[in-house]
Chain A
Amino acid sequence: MSRRETLSILGGAFTAAALACVPFLFGDYGLSLAINIVSYAVLATAWSLFSGPTRYVSLATVAFFGIGAYTTAVFAETLPWPAVLAIAAGVGVVVATVVGLSTLRLSGVYFVIFSFGLAELVRQLVTWWEVNKTRTLGRYVFTDITAAQIYWQLLALAVLVFVAGFLIGRSRLGLALRAIGDDETVARHTGIDTTRAKVALFVLSTVFMTLTGAIMAPRWTYIDPAIAFNPVVSFTVLIMALLGGVHRLYGPVLGVVPLALLFEFLLARFPNHFSIMVGLVFILIVYAIPRGIAGLVEQAVRRPA
């Protein structure tokens, strides 16, 4: 292990420990803001875990987030909490495997289009099921989980994402994925089973999204398909990851913090024009900072040398 890696591990552990103290230091508003930021940090990092190296743009974040949230809504009252999380992760794995196996063998566009509609498809299927089979559209989520506990669970999940990303970056799988991102044909010719590598990583990244949804669900107390599968979430995650920069593990977080604060402000000031603002911010980022903040930082660091 190089000195730089040891330093980043120590830095990460220290940051996590410091962040764990947030519930004791700030009030309710500060805590809810922190929950928001950490949940988006997990989602954006998980997103770029797959989409960064492979360059397959996934627009389906909220499909998995919503699946997790709905699993909590269905099982939280009858099953112990760890079992709920396990079921959520299991459902996420099954859906991601089916989607991955059927679309990731093909060129990237098919995957983008499929993921574009996946949230809508899942939303309609859940609605159909609830209306026809259980005859309840919308559920209440009553648990005794406090906001601080939600925050700590999300923080633990964030640590897991970073550890997973760190280990993948050092493994053969990580090398294979970077090769796929550079040139898939070449990667296949050097003996990499590209489909298996892509599907494995896609499944891993979506498990984190599903778990985030499951952990976040008690925050809402009421859930219906329109809330759980709100496409703005996919969109927000995508912007945050892109602003931060997807080619570095720490990149997405650099985008999450400023944008989460900005959106908090916009939502409070312009609740009716929120999506226009977000769209404009997004277009601005695509044009002005295509390599993200992490890219800018690296450029700035490299220049004087």
Chain B
Amino acid sequence: MLLEVTLSGVTLGGMYALVAMGLTLQYGVARIMNLSYGELLIAAAFAALWFYSGLALSPLLGLLVVPPLAFALSYAIYRILLQPLVRRAKTRDALEVDSILATFGLLFVIQGVMLAVFGGAYYSYSFLSIPLNIAGATVAANRLLALVLAVVIGLGLYLALTRTRLGTAVRAVAVDPVAAQLVAIDVRTASALAFALGGALVAAAGVLVSMFLTFNANLGVVFTLKALVVVIMGGVGNLLGALIAGLILGLVENYVAVFIDPGLTLAATYAIFLIVLLVRPQGLLGRSSR
């Protein structure tokens, strides 16, 4: 029982970590606090559902198609909607407030479109729901597959950011956008790329999540919230911190849901968030605050 709960907690935590990595790219590099972030996850989940039940194709094929689309969409959103705000903002705080407001509006637009198309009902589909036996515990094959894919994507991102020239440039912008310009990094392009990459990551997470969770058009806000909590817990801009914090959150939520009460998972999330804020406001692995 404990092992089963732990395994499904790790799967959920892996999803949170993946979602939070995308958000930490958007917030840490592009300096955009994106409140419409989770809506893209739900949109991707609906796309995967359509792939499976509408076109009778594997959702894994969706994993090849949906994230690039989300990348393009996020890139366009950044260039058209957010870059004017970046130009207008005098300070980083001003940009933060403006981006919160603009993406808050975007949240309601995307959510409204999804509600108009799919309504408020819950959706799910059954793909690879075969029970597997691991060391005496039973796990659904789709959960395990989602976890493995999340690890692969996360690892790929980590290597891309640490081992390539472009990745290094993106990280430099995260550390100091002004100094990055001095060493001939195109900050605007790097920011746009980081924002789009974040969108692609959350879309990938959406496809994976749709394989084993029921979802509806209103659920995006919850994912945004959890991603924000994970990002802050891990330390803004810190990929490894996001991974650890995501796993902690997934495990705690699952334990609370199974052993205490499923209605209290969000309260548990908030309790952890508050403890971290009070004890280590810079995040688990973050450096001291600015």
Contacts and interface: CB of A to CB of B under 8 A. Distances in A.
A286 B277 contact: no
B54 interface: no
B225 A117 contact: yes
Contacts of B98: 286, 290
B263 A128 contact: yes
Main secondary structure on A side of the interface with B: helix
Contacts of A127: 263
A55 B116 contact: no
A120 B85 CA distance: 29
A71 B59 CA distance: 46
Given A108-B96, A121-B270, A276-B116, A283 B105 contact: yes
Main secondary structure on B side of the interface with A: helix
A108 B101 CA distance: 14
A112 B33 contact: yes
Contacts of B113: 276
Contacts of A124: 263-264, 266-267
Contact of A57 (B101, B225, B277): B101
A277 B110 CA distance: 11
B106 interface: yes
Interface residues of A, number: 42
Interface residues of B, number: 45
B102 interface: yes
Interface of B: 33, 35, 81, 84-85, 88, 93, 96-98, 100-102, 104-113, 115-116, 221-222, 224-225, 228-229, 232, 261, 263-264, 266-267, 270, 273-274, 277-278, 281, 289-290
28 contacts: A57-B101, A59-B104, A102-B278, A109-B96, A110-B232, A112-B33, A113-B225, A114-B273, A116-B225, A120-B225, A124-B263, A125-B264, A127-B263, A132-B261, A235-B108, A274-B112, A275-B109, A276-B109, A276-B116, A279-B106, A279-B112, A280-B105, A282-B104, A282-B105, A286-B105, A287-B84, A287-B85, A290-B98
